[in-house]
Structure 1
Amino acid sequence: MLNAYGTANGCLTEFPATAAPAVPPDTVWLDLVEPTAEEEAAVEAALGIDIPTREELAEIEASSRLYQEDGAAFMTANLIRRGDNDQPESSPVTFIIKDNILITIRYHHPQAFPVYVKRAMKPQTTAMTGWGILISLLEAVVDRAADHLERAALIVDDTSKKTFGAKRALSGVHKQNPRRGVNLQQLIENIGEEGDFVSKMRESLVSIGRLVAFMQAISDQMRESKQTKENRARIKILQRDIVSLTDHATFLSGKISFLLDAVLGLISIEQNGIIKIFSVAAVVFLPPTLVASIYGMNFEFMPELHWRIGYPFALLLMVVSAILPFYYFKRKGWL
């Protein structure tokens, strides 16, 4: 799909689709979403550049995603979106600047794109040129990344409360079992999902940071000819935002690793508790079993067999031999 945009009265306007792929005059942004061969050929013929295909995007090395060719700047970064199943999806998106026209090539649908288009349809205070739209689009991507990280932070905090049982009674009495009804396996799955998402988000932010640094280098070369001071200032702010979000993603990764270790430790503690119960039960019932075994032997000369109180005596002995170890363990704090 080829979406062409122009500007009018400081707003972004979308050109109507045509039967045959074409680049309308006064275009400032061409958004190619899963483009066909005909659409790629039309853009290449109109702008005189070689657009990378989907296979070429997948094969591009991370060190070769930023380059200049045929008077155009090619910049590729991995962008993240949450799919229909809420799973993170990462895919490269290419940004091309040629003659102050922005071309974007993508094969998935990051939410930052429709959000920016909807917002840009209203009057803007920033320059509506190819460079200005590129910076605004990256600002929308970074804002979306911040929203994703905030959501991940909320999930991590909620998982932390379930793990460590932060709920306390208002009266100040000791809390009840804070993990009653908590599925530790589900907690591990949630932690794993958020850990995977934060890791991919951090990789995405690093690639966007490299892209913005490349833009800064190009803007320094262009000086006042094609890039305004306002855009250069926005690029610097964008760089600082990316650094802040990268640091936040690193912090969340560390917290997620800590939570994962904590949940695994809790699982180990619960397993040890179960084993301890079986061990104590075995020790408690061992003396009564010994007494029953002794008095279960059918020897002819066993004085207790002729006692009138022999049977109650054996039962009492078994009960006492079971209570004494249990009381001893309780005094020691082992139960």
Structure 2
Amino acid sequence: MLIIHEHGQHDRPTVWTPGMGRPKAPIWIDLLEPSEDERHCAAEITGLRVPERSDIVNLALSSRIRTDDDAMYLSIPYFADTNNGHAAQPVGIVVTNHVLMTLRFTESPAFDLANASCQHQHWESSADVLATLIEAIVNLGAQRMEDVSAELKKLSDRVFTPERLGTPVLRGCMLEVGRLEGMQARNRSSMLGVQRIVSFVRAKKPDWMGDAVEVRLRVVEHDLRTLDEFDDQLTNKLQFLLDATLGFISTDQNHVMKVLTVASVATIPPVILAGIWGMNFKDMPELNLPYAYPIALLIMLLSMALPVLFFKWRGWWSGD
């Protein structure tokens, strides 16, 4: 898909179709999983080279962020701005003094928000559009981090409860911690890519970038630093919940082992008594007693009850 925003156009953007005429004053060319025809059309409209996917995902920083004549080639190799668990996709950005071109390979709420903003914002330049797009990405990233924080609060209330939680419930809490950590890791990768782009653009600050846009980028850079600190807090909270869950599981297992130990100790006396009365000697006084067998059973039961009562009196049986 090829979405075209024109300078001064305040209604919905135009979706390119074969045979459509050349736009008069394009200010933002948005490529979404483009075909070869759409890539060729974007190159003709902008006069720029459309990056390949391999160029965007290149790990070398010089390949991801660079200048080429009057154009700045920027990219985010791992961009995920949704919490639906989809894999991160790369995003490429090319900006000049007259047009912004973006290349992406999946739907993006941030891009949709920036696309919709054309109805109530008057973009003066391509740098203005770039600032709008970056602000949308950062704002939605902050919203996702707040969503993770809210879910962490609910999970913390589930873990730290006076009621004893069984191992299956605690295992479910561990899986929830892993899910939230995955969401935060995807969000962290996106914010890191945006932070590098903002730092690079502010450091280069081409002549065609106005002071108003530079101020907006400065505010975004401050927001990114704040979100980075918030990310550290969330990461520490996730690690704390994981350690607490593992501690509760360990405590639960120790309680089970303690119960089994107490039960095994309680059965030692009757085993000893049964072993004594089961010895085959010629003269055993108990053999002549009329009620020797029920008396032996009663003594065995009593020998089990006494250790159990003693353990309960000492508080070793309850485990609390």
TM-score where L is the length of structure 1: 0.87
8 Å CA contact retained: 2:97, 2:125: no
1:62 maps to which residue?
61
Q: 1:285 to 1:325 in 2, by over 3 A?
A: same
- Count the aligned residue pairs: 316
Q: 1:8 to 1:189 in 2, by over 3 A?
A: same
2:187 maps to which residue?
201
Aligned amino acid, residue 112 of structure 1: A
Give the alignment partner of residue 217 of structure 1, picking from 198, 203, 224: 203
In structure 2, the gaps of 5 or more residues are none
Give the alignment partner of residue 254 of structure 1, picking from 221, 225, 236: 236
1:270 maps to which residue?
252
Q: Compare 31-40 and 139-148 and name the one that shifted more.
A: 31-40
SS at match of 1:59: coil
SS at match of 1:248: helix
In structure 1, the gaps of 5 or more residues are 166-174
Q: 1:205 to 1:49 in 2, by over 3 A?
A: same
1:41-72, Cα deviation, whole Å (9 max, x unpaired): 22223333222111222234235311111321
1:19-56, Cα deviation, whole Å (9 max, x unpaired): 14775121111000111222222222333322211122
CA RMSD of aligned residues (A): 2.2
Give the alignment partner of residue 150 of structure 1, picking from 139, 146, 154: 146
1:234-293, Cα deviation, whole Å (9 max, x unpaired): 111111111111111111111111111111121111112111111111111121122223
What is the CA–CA distance in structure 2 between the aligned matches of 1:88 and 1:254, rounded to whole Å? 24
Q: Compare 316-325 and 140-149 and name the one that shifted more.
A: 316-325
1:61-94, Cα deviation, whole Å (9 max, x unpaired): 23531111132111112321336xx215322211
What is the CA–CA distance in structure 1 between the aligned matches of 2:22 and 2:179, rounded to whole Å? 42
Corresponding position: 1:308 with 2:307:
no
SS at match of 2:5: strand
What is the CA–CA distance in structure 2 between the aligned matches of 1:304 and 1:66, rounded to whole Å? 95
What is the CA–CA distance in structure 1 between the aligned matches of 2:222 and 2:138, rounded to whole Å? 11
Corresponding position: 1:106 with 2:104:
yes
What is the CA–CA distance in structure 1 between the aligned matches of 2:11 and 2:125, rounded to whole Å? 10
Aligned amino acid, residue 331 of structure 1: W
TM-score where L is the length of structure 2: 0.91
8 Å CA contact retained: 1:304, 1:310: yes
**% identity of equivalent residues:** 28
Q: Compare 144-153 and 16-25 and name the one that shifted more.
A: 16-25
What is the CA–CA distance in structure 2 between the aligned matches of 1:250 and 1:209, rounded to whole Å? 16
What is the CA–CA distance in structure 1 between the aligned matches of 2:173 and 2:61, rounded to whole Å? 34
1:96 maps to which residue?
94
